[in-house]
């Protein structure tokens, strides 16, 4: 953590020595100064507001002048490995904001405009290639930090519409068909809640707000989403910075206690909700039923998203306190600090304060100005419990969750609730015990082309679930000369984890005797137009050649085959079709070669 000046305005960071970008360039304080100024520069953004990133560092001294005209932020100093950042006023959430991905170290020569080429990275991985269809991360060879970097490369492929359609929600059933996969659900920082309009009756009365908190069945409402919410009665998610667990109202409805809290009243309320997504209507309808069971009279007021969240305080949406007593809504914080959750929902000046609650503004101001990060988080964690359980400024229902599916081969899963994601650098490939799948030819038969046999060409390949190129070895190898007779080819495939698969097939090479028999069969099939007498004459010559071969008289067999070829050539086109004649002569000539003639 940085050191903070006594006035809480200046943060001093010391960049650890030895860190380098993936191109070998050293990381120093100027790398971070460049990152902040580049992410908010008008040259990069084409404007003068600091862009999205600027909204999180606008309290740095000199930031807005830089947003407007460039030239650097005067409140940021960089000397060697020492980075100093001076704020206009103390801000306890600054460490969380400056840790956002916009502000990762950037080489001082990084272009001031968007670049198609990936920028160098100082983390465990860098972007090796980036296209519309995939991003490939490669291990940074110069990284010297403590974070894991277990795999050499990580290939990320964006979801396609077919993947999304297959996954939400019906495809969860398909996971059952792959029981070896790991299906992991983790909470996000997004909170689903009921904003209660505390600026007017009936929710200006604490007992009525308590009745809502008791009446809602958080577990039942959470189960209505394709990926269920994590039911909760607090606004900060489990695992979020500052979170303090407190069992406030329970996760199921306590209808009797809710009715008792109303003390005989039957408040009539309007529940506003967005029509964007059918689940909002379904959930709002469920809330209506639960509240009515406790004694409320509820009218639903569905609105398009753009209308419900119209920022105008006099418009038709939730920002107008005259329209809604309750709002079924959610909030997704931008950065991992409780101030970005609680402050947006309940600080009096916030445009997202649909509860119109300002009873803790002094506590918010104190926490926001507390530059001791540990006590800053502790104060806001306690304030979360107070807002949810004592003030009941709104009613938390649950937190959105992410569902991730990992192959059985993937391990070392490290989930970071602050960023609502897994740390890719921790992922590892578990011990591989599955051998490759070896693909070999069927048994082969071919004719010898010489006394030694025949050169045989074949293809053997392998696939593997982790190694894209398992090593395949066969003996004898493809292209070898196989001797006359039957030879067994033994093949093996080995993957990068040394798992081996084996298989074999046979190659039968026909010698002169078998080829003479085949040639005799071909003579029998001659025609049309080939007379029986011609077939008999040719067959006799082949039979004589077979006898010579059987007795080892190869030269005599060759003379007989020469006479066979002369007769075929003489009859070609007259009594033997030319194509058949050509084939007979070629086969007989090959047999002569096999015999060594």
Q: How does pLDDT run across 306-323, given as a tens digit for each residue?
A: 999 988 888 888 889 889
Contacts of 367 (CB under 8 A, 6+ apart): 92, 339, 376, 379, 380, 383
CATH fold group of domain 437-510: Immunoglobulin-like (2.60.40)
- Does pTM surpass 0.75? no
Residue 60 has phi, psi (to 5 degrees) of: -75, 135
Residue count of the chain: 597
**For residue 162, what pLDDT is reported?**
42
**In the predicted model, what is the mean pLDDT of residues 507-530?**
94
Question: Which CATH class name applies to 183-402?
Answer: alpha beta
Residue 182 has pLDDT above 70, yes or no: yes
The answer, yes or no, to whether residue 279 has pLDDT greater than 70, is yes
Q: How far is CA 568 from CA 417, 535, 541, in A?
A: 86, 10, 11
Give the whole-angstrom CA distance, residue 540 versus residue 519. Answer: 12
What is the SS3 assignment for 454?
A: strand
Helix (H) or strand (E) holding 300: strand 297-303
Residue extents of the structural domains in the chain? 3-122, 183-402, 437-510, 512-594
Judging by DSSP bridges, how do beta strands 461-463 and 437-439 pair with one another?
antiparallel
Lowest mean pLDDT: which of 80-94, 323-337, 412-426, 481-495?
412-426
Is 418's pLDDT higher than 80? no
> What does the pLDDT average to over 56-66?
95
- Tell me the per-residue pLDDT of 316-363, one tens digit each, with 9 for 90 and over: 888 898 899 999 999 999 999 999 999 999 998 789 999 999 999 999
Both tokens of 417, joined, read 């609730």
Topology of the domain covering 3-122:
Dipeptide-binding Protein; domain 1 (3.90.76)
| pLDDT grade for 92, boundaries at 50, 70 and 90 | very high
Q: In 99-180, which residue ranges form alpha helices assigned H by DSSP?
A: 161-167, 172-176
Confidence of residue 431 (pLDDT cuts 50, 70, 90): confident
Three-class SS state of 83: strand
pLDDT at 176: 43
How many Å is the maximal CA-CA distance in the chain?
Answer: 122
Residue 453's contacts (CB-CB under 8 Å, 6 or more residues apart) are: 481, 482, 483, 484, 509
Are 271 and 299 within 8 A, CB to CB? yes
Residue with tokens 């391990």: 411
The Cα 246–Cα 232 span in angstroms is: 10
The predicted structure's pLDDT at residue 161: 44
pLDDT confidence of residue 47: 59
Structure tokens at 428: 């590892």
Burial (CB < 10 A; 0-12, 13-18, 19+), residue 51, is: middle
Q: Which helix (H) or strand (E) holds 32?
A: helix 29-39
Residue 505 β-bridge partners: 489
Gap between the Cα atoms of 412 and 591, Å rounded: 65
* CA–centroid distance for 325 within its chain: 41
Mean predicted lDDT score pLDDT of the chain: 90
145 pLDDT tier (thresholds 50, 70, 90)? confident
Distances in whole angstroms, Cα of residue 557 to Cα of each of 226, 514, 541: 82, 14, 9
The mean per-residue pLDDT over the stretch 134-162 comes to 80
Instruction: Give whole-number Cα distances, 157 to 131, 135, 167, 182, 346, in Å.
Output: 10, 7, 15, 19, 39
Three-state DSSP class for residue 118: coil
Q: Which two tokens stand for residue 464?
A: 């593997």
C-alpha to C-alpha distances, 291 to 213, 302, 387, 574, 579, nearest whole angstrom: 10, 17, 21, 103, 93
Mean pLDDT of 25-46: 88
pLDDT confidence tier of residue 18, bands split at 50, 70 and 90: confident
Q: Do residues 213 and 395 touch, judged by C-beta distance below 8 A?
A: yes
Residue 210 has pLDDT above 60, yes or no: yes
Residue 431 CA to residue 471 CA, distance in Å, equals 18
């Amino acid at each position: 953590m940085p050191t903070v000046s006594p006035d809480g305005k200046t943060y001093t960071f010391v960049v650890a020595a030895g860190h380098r970008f993936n191109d070998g360039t050293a990381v120093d304080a100027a790398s971070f100064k460049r990152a902040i100024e580049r992410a908010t520069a008008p040259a990069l953004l084409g404007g003068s507001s600091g862009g999205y990133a600027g909204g999180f560092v606008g309290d740095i001294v000199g930031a807005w002048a830089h947003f407007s005209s460039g030239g650097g932020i005067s409140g940021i100093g960089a000397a060697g490995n020492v980075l100093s950042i001076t704020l206009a006023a103390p801000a306890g959430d600054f460490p969380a904001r400056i840790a956002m991905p916009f502000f990762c170290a950037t080489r001082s020569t990084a272009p001031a405009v968007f670049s198609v080429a990936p920028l160098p990275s100082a983390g465990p991985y860098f972007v090796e290639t980036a296209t519309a269809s995939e991003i490939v991360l490669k291990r940074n060879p110069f990284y010297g930090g403590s974070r894991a970097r277990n795999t050499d490369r990580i290939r990320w492929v964006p979801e396609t519409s077919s993947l999304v359609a297959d996954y939400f929600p019906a495809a969860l059933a398909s996971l059952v068909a792959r029981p070896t996969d790991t299906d992991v659900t983790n909470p996000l920082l997004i909170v689903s809640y009921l904003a209660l309009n505390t600026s007017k009756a009936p929710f200006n009365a604490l007992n009525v707000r308590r009745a809502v908190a008791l009446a809602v069945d958080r577990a039942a409402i959470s189960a209505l989403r394709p990926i269920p919410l994590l039911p909760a009665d607090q606004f900060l998610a489990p695992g979020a910075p500052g979170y303090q667990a407190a069992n406030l109202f329970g996760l199921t409805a306590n209808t009797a206690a809710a009715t008792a809290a109303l003390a005989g009243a039957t408040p009539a309320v309007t529940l506003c909700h967005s029509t964007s997504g059918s689940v909002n209507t379904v959930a709002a309808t469920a809330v209506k039923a639960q509240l009515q069971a406790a004694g409320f009279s509820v009218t639903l007021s569905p609105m398009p998203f753009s209308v419900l969240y119209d920022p105008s305080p006099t418009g038709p949406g939730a920002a107008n306190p005259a329209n809604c007593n309750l709002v079924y809504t959610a909030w997704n914080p931008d950065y991992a600090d409780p101030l970005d959750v609680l402050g947006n929902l309940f600080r009096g000046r916030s445009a997202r304060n649909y509860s119109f609650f300002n009873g803790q503004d002094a506590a918010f101001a104190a926490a926001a100005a507390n530059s001791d990060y540990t006590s800053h988080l502790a104060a806001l964690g306690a304030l979360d419990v107070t807002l949810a359980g004592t003030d009941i400024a709104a009613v938390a229902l649950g937190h959105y969750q992410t569902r991730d599916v990992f192959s059985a081969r993937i391990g070392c899963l490290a989930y970071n609730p602050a960023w609502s994601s897994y740390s890719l650098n921790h992922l590892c490939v578990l011990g591989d015990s599955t051998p490759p799948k070896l693909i070999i030819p069927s048994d082969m038969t071919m004719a010898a082309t010489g006394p030694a046999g025949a050169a045989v060409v074949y293809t053997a390949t392998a696939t593997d679930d982790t190694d894209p190129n398992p090593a395949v070895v066969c003996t004898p190898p493809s292209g070898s000369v196989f001797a006359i007779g039957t030879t067994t080819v033994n093949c093996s495939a080995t993957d990068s984890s040394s798992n081996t698969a084996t298989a074999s097939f046979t190659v039968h090479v026909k010698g002169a005797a078998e080829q003479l028999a085949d040639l005799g069969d071909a003579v029998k099939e001659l025609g049309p137009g080939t007379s029986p007498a011609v077939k008999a004459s040719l067959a006799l010559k082949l039979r004589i050649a077979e006898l010579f071969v059987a007795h080892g008289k190869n030269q005599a067999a060759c003379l007989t085959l020469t006479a066979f070829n002369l007769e075929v050539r003489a009859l070609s086109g007259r009594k033997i079709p030319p194509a058949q004649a050509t084939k007979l002569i070629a086969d007989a000539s090959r047999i002569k070669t096999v015999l060594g003639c």
